[in-house]
Amino acid sequence: MPYTTVELQRHRAYRKERWVKGFIRIISLTAGLAMLLCWVLPSQAAETSLERIKKRGYLLWGADAEGGAPYIFPSPDDPSKMIGFEVEIADALAREMGVTARQSQNAWDSLIPGLERGDFDIAMNGIEITPQRQEKLLFSIPYYVYTEQLVVRKDETGIRDINDLKGKKVGTLSGTVAQNILTAIKGVDVKVYSGQVEPYADLAIGRVDAVLLDLPIAAYYGKPNPKLKYAGAPVGEGFYGIAMRKTDEDLKKEIDRILIKLLKSGELKKIYEKWDMWNGTQEKLFTNIGNAGYVGLEASKKAPLYTFFPMLLKGAGLTVLISVTSMALAVTLGLVLTILRLYGRPPLSNLASAYIEVYRGTPLLIQLFILYYGLPNIGISLSPMLAAFLGLGMNYAAYEAEIYRAGLMAVPKGQMEAALSLGMTQGLALRRVVLPQALRIATPGVTNDFIALFKDSSLVSVIAMVELTKTYSILAATTLRFFELGLITALLYFAMSYPLSLLARRLEARLKGSDR
């Protein structure tokens, strides 16, 4: 029975009234929650960072134990125990606060983002006080005066100091002052590493011509090596500081007070002498002893984003080169492996099966480490580029082999039997009849793997290849502009991979059409 006009008007008015009442309830509930938060939060905000640490009973400090000696590293006698001069400083800070110290493991170039997120209370891991970092963080008074030391091979005669580096390959760590010094020198081929051991290992076997790093690192890894020596006097003097969040003023005051006490009592000097790190330069710490509000370097001007585009585009170009070359190797080798596995005779078929299972069952990162850092132990030294090509190509070949195998298995057996009955050899039948059909089936999967390879190419940064992801990591660690640069990097990856996605869809559509 249809509604009358009056009934429709009443129904609409009723619905409108219900909507208004519901809206008022939501507003009232929101206002009530806001009032509750306003009542609860002030009591929480009143608790300072220092009070939270004392209430918790331990000081959580962020550091990268993988970074190595003499900062923080596993004890050779007991790997479960961390040792290093910064471990002893952290213990002293915690002791003076009346708590214990706990180290929170974090990758070095992610320490500052982790600190800002609140993953730990302080970050202390040879963090240099720079203008860019001072814009976002609070720093304690300096606890160590560092300098940069150039190290070369024992038989090197052409490099006497930092002024002789033009045209040379020089290794350093990502996001450090040493890297900034090297990039400022025209004509230097800077090789960036993620760990402290690797650059000196590459220097010893001739992959780089020199290494520039902080003196404590050079003294621990470079000086004792009989194949290496110092070149010239230390350069680029600066300060290590303990990093804290901008809101933790109370914690900064307490840490500054304790550092001053450790300096005056001589405890800090004893720690440095124990680790063979005390030198005349450290006397400059005492000039800041009365100034707990140490500011350090002058703030630098923030560079516009477009100034980073050339480096990011260069990294993107290298990513494309690595991906395309590696995929070409993977496609070719994968096809050979599949044919050997399905049609070859033992032991070739067994070796092909073993290759596929081993490469699919072990991490790509480990494979890259073995290729680049492991092979020199048996006299085989690969360049970073060649190691990247081989590492990615050989790994993905195992996956391509399985895609091809699925394609070959999908071709009816009658196709091969019919070809053989016509007098074709097995090789000719495979090449003319079976493979063309199998490759049509496998093509979409291969294209999808190519897209995945673009992203996995970022792993080659562990072997001193500065592709797109590593370029982003270096720039972000230096400028602390993680979000803006990360967004640009993500867009560049999308711009490289999206055309491949379109190609994959078009190929799938064509293959479906040809099947019909």
- The CB density around residue 335, as the number of other CB atoms within 10 Å, is 18
Say whether both 349 and 464 belong to one domain: yes
Say whether both 63 and 156 belong to one domain: no
CA atoms of 459 and 449, how far apart (whole Å): 16
In this predicted structure, what is the pLDDT of residue 104?
92
CA atoms of 271 and 398, how far apart (whole Å): 51
Q: How confident is the model at residue 383 (pLDDT cuts 50, 70, 90)?
A: confident
Say whether both 152 and 125 belong to one domain: no
Residue with tokens 């007098």: 423
Q: Which of 6-20, 111-125, 136-150 bottoms out in mean pLDDT, i.e. has the lowest?
A: 6-20
Q: How confident is the model at residue 22 (pLDDT cuts 50, 70, 90)?
A: low
The torsion angle over the Cα atoms of residues 44, 50, 55 and 60, rounded to 10 degrees, is: 110
**CATH number of the domain encompassing residue 156:** 3.40.190.10
Strand-pair partners of 369: none
Say whether both 269 and 401 belong to one domain: no
In this predicted structure, what is the pLDDT of residue 46?
57
Q: Which of 212-226, 347-361, 435-449 bottoms out in mean pLDDT, i.e. has the lowest?
A: 435-449
Terminal C-alpha separation, the chain: 54
In this predicted structure, what is the pLDDT of residue 299?
46
**CATH number of the domain encompassing residue 414:** 1.10.3720.10
Enclosing H/E stretch for 426: helix 426-429
Q: How far is CA 293 from the centre of its chain?
A: 33
pLDDT tens column, 159-204: 999 999 999 999 998 878 899 899 989 999 999 987 888 899 999 9
Residue 259, pLDDT > 60, answer: yes
In this predicted structure, what is the pLDDT of residue 478?
66
Structural domain span for residue 167: 145-237
User: Domain tally for the chain?
Assistant: 4
The torsion angle over the Cα atoms of residues 100, 104, 114 and 236, rounded to 10 degrees, is: 90
CA atoms of 364 and 221, how far apart (whole Å): 27
Residue 387, pLDDT > 70, answer: yes
In a domain, 405, yes or no: yes
pTM for the model stands at: 0.71
Q: Which of 29-43, 240-254, 418-432, 471-485 bottoms out in mean pLDDT, i.e. has the lowest?
A: 29-43
pLDDT tens column, 124-147: 999 999 888 888 899 999 999 999
Say whether both 281 and 422 belong to one domain: no
In a domain, 301, yes or no: no
Mean pLDDT of all residues belonging to the chain? 85
Say whether both 171 and 245 belong to one domain: no
Q: How far is CA 350 from the centre of its chain?
A: 37
In a domain, 96, yes or no: yes
Half-sphere exposure of 33 (CA within 13 A, CB side): 6
3-state SS assignment for residue 467:
coil
Which of 208, 237, 266 finishes a domain?
237
In a domain, 302, yes or no: no
Residue with tokens 């800077």: 190
pLDDT tens column, 87-106: 999 999 999 999 999 999 88
Report residue 236: phi and psi, to 5°: 65, 55
Which of 204, 220, 237 finishes a domain?
237
Contact 170, 211 (CB under 8 A): yes
In a domain, 245, yes or no: yes
Q: Which of 40-54, 78-92, 190-204, 450-464 bottoms out in mean pLDDT, i.e. has the lowest?
A: 40-54
Contact 208, 152 (CB under 8 A): no
In a domain, 344, yes or no: yes
Average the pLDDT over 422-448 and give the result: 84
Q: How far is CA 306 from the centre of its chain?
A: 23
Say whether both 266 and 232 belong to one domain: no
